[in-house]
Amino acid sequence: MSPPLVEHNYMGPSGALSTEASSPDLRQTELRLGLPGSESPERKQLTLELLPPSAKGKRGFSELKKDGGPSGDNLGSQGKEDKANKGKLEEKKPTGAAPAAKAQVVGWPPIRSYRKNTMAITPSKNKEDAAEAKQGASCLYVKVSMDGAPYLRKVDLQTYKNYRDLSTALEKMFSGFTSGGSAHVGPTDLINGSKFVLTYEDKDGDWMLVGDVPWEMFAESCRRLRIMKGSDAIGLAPRGEKSKIRN
Amino acid sequence: MKVQSAMFYFPEEVIEHIFSFLTHHPDRNTVSTVCKAWYKIERLSRREVFVGNCYAIRPDRAAARFPGLRSLTLKGKPHFADFDLVPPDWGGLAGPWIEAMARSCPNLEELRMKRMVVSDESLELLAHAFPNFKALVLVSCEGFSTDGLAAVARSCKSLRELDLQENEIEDRGPRWLNSFPDMCTSLVSLNFACLKGEVNLKSLERLVCRSPNLKCLRLNRAVPVETLAKIMNQCPNLEDLGTGSLLADQFSEAYVSLISALQKCKKLRCLSGFWDASPLCLLAVYPICANLTGLNLSYAPTVQGQDFINLIQHCVKLLRLWVLDSVGDKGLAVVASACKELQELRVFPSDLFAAGPATVTEEGLVAISTGCPKLNSLLYFCHSMTNSALITVSKNCPNFTRFRLCILEPRKPDPATNEPLDEGFGAVVKTCKNLRRFSISGLLTDQVFYYIGKYAKALEMLSIAFAGDTDQGMTYVLNGCKNLRKLEIRDCPFGDGALLADVTKYETMRSLWMSSCDISLRGCKALATKMPSLNVEIINEWEAEMEENLNNGVAEVISNNNNKHINNGNDERKVEKLYVYRTVGGPRTDAPDFVWTL
């Protein structure tokens, strides 16, 4: 089974993604970004809708406003729902010159383009929560490769809060590729299990075992992920060692 | 005794000497109209020329009239170009002006341009054509790169001032700073804060070292604290400083040397920059706050809350303050209590993307007006405003000359009463007799324009958006504001009736801009026919119809008789953007194909 190459438009308006999977088998490998553990009813696997299906790209913000939704600053105290909104919010930030949230009106508010462009690269920082603010500064998509899989995937590390969430997400994303396809690979197997070892390449270019450092530190330094076959993982932590995962 | 013709017996030199005391260019314009003799004396002795609209006169004619010209100030695109309402390639080219000056006014020393398109070739020409060139000031310009700056730096032997404010400059690397020759020691003012890229720090330090007259230096974000400290140690006479990135660790050498360097600069009066400022670096600034007259924190979102309060409470002599709305009403209250001499305040919105908690409201503005009665210039972005607040503000500060209030949500009423803001803005024009510039927003009916027309007799520039009900609104303004020079309107229900209510009025003004209003091609044509001394330009993207005409060149577009698209019979089409201005230069020869001069 070789799934056709499907181009996913992550930055586009909503709705496009959910229509692209054509067969039940493919749905497992279909990239649908979602919050781990979120309450959305159709959720069996990981899905993060870019936007609520009814909203167009920019109007998502006015919904945020009506809810008294989060600004970049006070995310730490808000729940998962808001984090989803934040994910949407931050998706928009890289586009820089997007017009003001409420009014999709050209040239309103009347701010010089120079100032708009300069401030777009200067996200407002919340002193109390520097880590949060750093996450707020940009998306953090990293490539994920799995030994033996025909193609790679990408995940946004900022949509996860801890290793468990990441592991669950990856497992679901790649479950179609595990040998003996239907075998259920448990959520922590990617980190603890015998079949696979999750590693990452850090800022210095070294390949590290996932799980040693606090989540925030990992998210900040991770450049790409690789799911290694256990048999290749010679020299890494022995199988029997207790998990050192810190959430 | 024939007293009345006494002036004719004065030698020209004497009259010229008398004129030399007239520096205000409107005054000089006036004396030049008295008689031919005075016209001649005035034009030959004029050293500074201000052209508020670069298309109001042909460059050659200006250069020919004032051969002794030393200083030229030019403005190009309409103001609303700042907000992306004017398509790119609209015009405002500096090239023809620089070429004309190169031909006729080789003694040019200063060139100031705003909202113009400048090419590297033009900068190259500038660098070589004017041996005494001293000052280049570019504000909101575009079209050039650091290569052009290098040319100026390299060849202008006595360059004193290079001031780049908020331009879009293509960054081709840090080498341009090296272009200042080693023997260049004349720099007094250098501002490259708007450059986005890296800067050669060693070159910068060397340049500063050999510029003993440096009074104003504004760095860009790429300059770290270490370099800033070194530079400031070199110029203790600095009066105006724009910092680079203000990030430093507490016990770093950089931080320590910054503190001692700042303390040496006893003449520092104006501070800006503050990129990424950490609270620690702000501490270093406290000792010099007491003498500051100007402070620009509008690019420093990290300076808020208690950090801002700690800083601003020392600034007791402050005259000009630019901040972000993240300082909040609380921060503004501290400003009101500390900065009693404040004359100008600008509060910019800090976050255009998320609709976070309201940061400044009418309370902050009222507090400022209570604490700072000398306030005369205001730019205030906020989420909402009330009539009663505006009435209080105008009572407290009757000296406003510039009053610009932008309520972020268009057509928003007074939240306390749900009424339009006519009375509030009306109070401002009634009380502030010297009001020259006015920008209004929120929910507004024709009534506010009635007040403006009736009371704003000194008004020169009016900016209107999402306001008014009928043509009568615009008519009130045209009829009442005797000194109106610039009128810019967007998204208002004013139609042909308003446009044509007083056509001769436009000859007394510099320009009129109307976009997304209710005017039609028929109305614009009527205006063009009645007033040949105006350029009536429409900007339209009637794409399908334009296809045929694209290759025909501007000449045919201008000529009414040949143009199929202007004259295809459908004059009822709405005109999206209209720009009308008086000119002695005739229709533009450089208009792009989407600009049609009727």
Contact of B168 with chain A, judged by CB distance below 8 Å, is answered with: yes
Contact of A110 with chain B, judged by CB distance below 8 Å, is answered with: yes
Residue B221's pLDDT is 93
* Packed helices B422-431 and B446-455: angle between N→C axes, nearest 10 degrees: 0
Contact of B205 with chain A, judged by CB distance below 8 Å, is answered with: no
User: How high is the mean pLDDT in each 10-residue block of chain A (247 residues)?
Assistant: 51 42 49 50 41 39 38 38 39 39 72 87 44 46 83 83 85 69 45 70 82 84 83 56 42
**C-beta contacts of A240-244 below 8 A and 24+ residues apart:** A243/A188, A243/A191, A243/A192, A243/A211, A244/A211, A244/A212
Show Cβ contacts of residue B128 under 8 Å, excluding neighbours closer than 6 positions: B155
Could you tell me if residue B122 is left (phi over 0), alpha (psi between -120 and 50 degrees) or otherwise beta? alpha
Average pLDDT over residues B424-428: 97
Q: Does pLDDT of B355 surpass 70?
A: no
How far apart are the two ends of chain A, measured CA to CA in Å?
36
Indicate the Cα dihedral angle B127, B128, B129, B130, nearest 10°: 60
d(C-alpha B120, C-alpha A180), whole Å: 65
Q: Which of B21-25, B381-385, B566-570 has the lowest mean pLDDT?
A: B566-570
Question: Percentage of chain B surpassing pLDDT 90?
Answer: 73
Contact of A115 with chain B, judged by CB distance below 8 Å, is answered with: yes
Residues in A closer than 8 angstroms to B410, CB to CB, are: 103, 105, 108
In A, minimum Cα distance to B382 occurs at A109
d(C-alpha B583, C-alpha B512), whole Å: 13
* Contact criterion met (CB below 8 Å) for B468 and B493: yes
In B, minimum Cα distance to A69 occurs at B356
Residue B427's pLDDT is 97
Nearest to A169 by CA among A142, A132, A194, A195: A142
Q: 3-state secondary structure string, B436-472? A: CEEECCCCCCHHHHHHHHHHCCCCCEEEEECCCCCHH
The one-letter amino acid at B553: G
Interface-testing mutation among B346, B352, B409, with chain A (most A C-beta atoms within 10 A): B352
Three-class secondary structure of residue B165 per DSSP: strand
B466-495: pLDDT as tens digits: 999 999 999 999 999 999 999 999 999 999
Q: Which of A96-110, B46-60, B120-134 has the lowest mean pLDDT?
A: A96-110
More confident residue, B341 or B597: B341
Question: How many CB atoms are located within 10 Å of the residue B568 CB?
Answer: 11
Task: Give the DSSP H/E element, type plus range, for residue B257.
Answer: helix B253-264
Residue labelled with tokens 């009424």: B419
B234-282: pLDDT as tens digits: 988 999 999 999 887 777 888 888 888 988 889 999 999 999 888 888 8
Residue B165's pLDDT is 96
Show Cβ contacts of residue B176 under 8 Å, excluding neighbours closer than 6 positions: B146, B147, B149, B150, B153
B284-295: pLDDT as tens digits: 899 899 999 999
Residues in B closer than 8 angstroms to A118, CB to CB, are: 299
Counting every residue written for chain B, the total comes to: 598
d(C-alpha A219, C-alpha B214), whole Å: 46
Residue B490's pLDDT is 96
d(C-alpha B108, C-alpha B126), whole Å: 9
Q: Which of A64, A106, A114 sits opposite B354 (nearest CB)?
A: A64
